[in-house]
Structure 1
Amino acid sequence: MMSKQYSPETYDAVMSLLKNGDTPSWRKVREITGHGASNAIVREVRQIMSELAERSAGGDYPKAAQDAFWNLWMNIKEIALSEFSQERDQFRSEAEDAKKAAQETMELLERAQERQAEREDQIILMREQLNQAAQREAQLIAQLAHANGRIDQELSRMEELRTAHKAEIATHDRERVEWQAKLEAETEQRHKVVADITLEHQRKVERLELELHNEQARYNDDTARFLRQIDEERVLHRKAEKEAQEVWHKLSAQLSQVNQEKAHLAGQLQVMQKEMDKVSLKNESLEAKNDALHTEISKLNALLTEQTALLHQAQLKVVSLTDNVTHQEADA
C-alpha cells in the first residue's frame, strides 16, 4: 500500500463530496479547500480514490459499497481523462501559439539583421563620404591659406598706396573737418527752426485745447438744455398718455355699450329674419298661386282667342249672308 501523499483537507473534501453523491473533481475540491494548484489536487484526488479502490478490493467495504466505489472510480477516471485531454489540447494550442510566436520572432530577427546589414552599409557609405569631406576640407584649407597670402599681399600694397597718398588723405581730412563744421552749424540752425516750429505748434495746441474746452462747455450746456426739454416732453407725453387712456376707457365703455346694442339689434334682426322667412314662405305660396292663376289665364286667353276667331268667322259669314241677301233683294 502506497504512502499517503495528500493533505487531510483534500481527503475531507473528497469524502464530503462522495457522501453528497457528487463527483470529486479538482474544481469542486478547490472550492471547498480554498487553495491548491489543479495538478496537485488532481494527483491527491487520484491517490485518495486509489486507496478507496484498494480498500474496496480488499474487502474492507460491503459489496454494494465496493460496486459504488468502482463505478465512482470509473467516473472519476473518465473525468480525469477528459480533463487531461482538455489540458493536452490546451497545451498543444499553447505550443502552436508559441511556435507561431517563435516563427514571428525569427522573422523579426531576420528583418532586424537585414536592417542591421543595411545600416552597416550606410555606415560604410557615410565613412567614405566623411573621408571625401575630409579631403575636401584639406583642399579648402589649402585654398584658404593661399587666399590669406594674397590678402596679406593686397594689404601691404594698400599700405604702400596709403603712404604714397598721405598728403591727399590729409587734404581730404581737412575738407572733411570743414564740411563737418558746416554740417554742425546747419544742424544747429535747423534745431532752432524746429524749436520755433515746436513752440508755435504748442501755442496752436493750447489754443485748440481752449477752443475744445469752450466747445465742451457749450456741448454740456446744450446737453443739459436738451435733457430738460426731454423731461418736459416726457411730462407732456405722460399727460397725453393719461388723457389717451381716459379717452380709451371712455371709448371702451362706448364700445361695450355699442356691443350690447349690437347684440340687442342682432336679436331683433333674428326675429325680423324669422318674420322675413315666414313672409318669404307666404310669398312663395302666393307666387305658386299666382303661377297657377297665370296658367289658367293663359288657358282662358287661348280659349278666348279661339272663341274670338270663331266669332270673327261667324261675323264674316253673317256679313257674307247679309251681302247675299242684299244682292238678292236688289235683284228682286
Structure 2
Amino acid sequence: MKDSLHDITRKAVLQILAQGERPTWRRVRDIIGSGSAGDITRRVGDVMTELAERQVHGDYPEEVQAAFFEMWRTVKTINAREFEERQAQALERVSEANAARDGYRDQLHDCQRELTLKTNQLTELSTALHALRTAEAENQRAQRLLEEQLTRAETNLLEERVKREAAVALQQSEAARYQQIIAESAQASEARISGLETTLKSEQHRYNVDTAKLHVKVDEARQEAKQERKAHEKDSAASAKVIGTLREQLAHAKAGEAKLQGRLETLEAQLGKAQEKRSAAEDARASLNEQNNQLRTQLEAEATARQAAEKQLEGERQRAQALENSLKAAQAAERHHSRKPKD
C-alpha cells in the first residue's frame, strides 16, 4: 500500500515539475485527491530525495538530467524561500507560542492564586464546619441537658402537683370537716342561744310572776295589817312580828329578784360568747376560702410556668434545627468548592 501511494505521489510530483511549478502538498493532493497535509508533505520529500539521488547517479539521460538539474535548482531556490518563509512563520509561531506561554503562565499564576484562595476558603469552610459541628455537638449536649432538666422539672412539677392536689384535697376535706364542725357548732350554739333565750324569757316571766305575786302578797299583807290595825288594836309585839315577817318576806323577794337578775346577766354573757364563737367560725370559714383561692392561683401559676418551659424547649429545638440546616449548607458548600479546583 505504501509503494502504491509513493508511486502515485511520484507521478504527481513529476507532473507538477514538468509544468515548471513547485510541487506543494496542496497541488499534489489536488491531483491524487486525498491524504493529510503531513503525509503528503512527507511523501513529496521522499520523492524529491529519490529524484535527487537518481540525478546524482546519472540514472536519467543528459537532457533529462540537465532539465532536472535546472528544475532542481529552481525547486531548491523555491524550497529555500519556502524554508525562509516557514522559518519566519515558525519564529512568529514561536513568538506567539512564547506569548501564549506567558499568557498561560499568567493564567497558571492566576489559577494558582485562585487555587490558594479556594484552598484558604476551603480551610475557612472546614474551620467553620468544625465550629458548626462543635456548636452542633454543644447544642445537642445543651438540648439533652435541657430535655433532662425539663424532664426533671416535669417530674418535680408532677410530684409537686400530686402533693399539692393531695394537700388541697386534705385541706378541702379539713375545710369540709371544719365547716361541718362549725355548722354543727353554730347549730348547737344557735340551739343553745335559743334555749338560753327561752330559759331567759321563762325565768323573766317567772320573775315577773313571782314579783307580781310578791307585790300582791305585800299589798294583801298591808291590807290585812291595816284591817287588823283598824279592826283590832292588838299589841305592838304582834304587829311588830307581822311587820318583821313581811319585811323578811320582802327581803327574800328582793334577794330572789337579785338572784334572777344575776342569772339573767349570766345568760346574756353566755349569749355574747356564743355570738363571738359564731363570728369566729365565720372568720375561719372565710380564711379557708381564701386559702383555697390561693392554692388555685398557685396551681394556675405553675401551669403557666410549665407552658413557658415547654415554649422554651420548642425554641431550643428550632435553634437546633436551624444549626443543623446551617451545617448541611456548609457541607454542601464544602463539597462544591472541593470539586471546583479539580474541574
TM-score by length of 2: 0.40
TM-score by length of 1: 0.41
Higher relative contact order structure (alpha carbons within 8 Å, sequence separation ≥ 6): 2
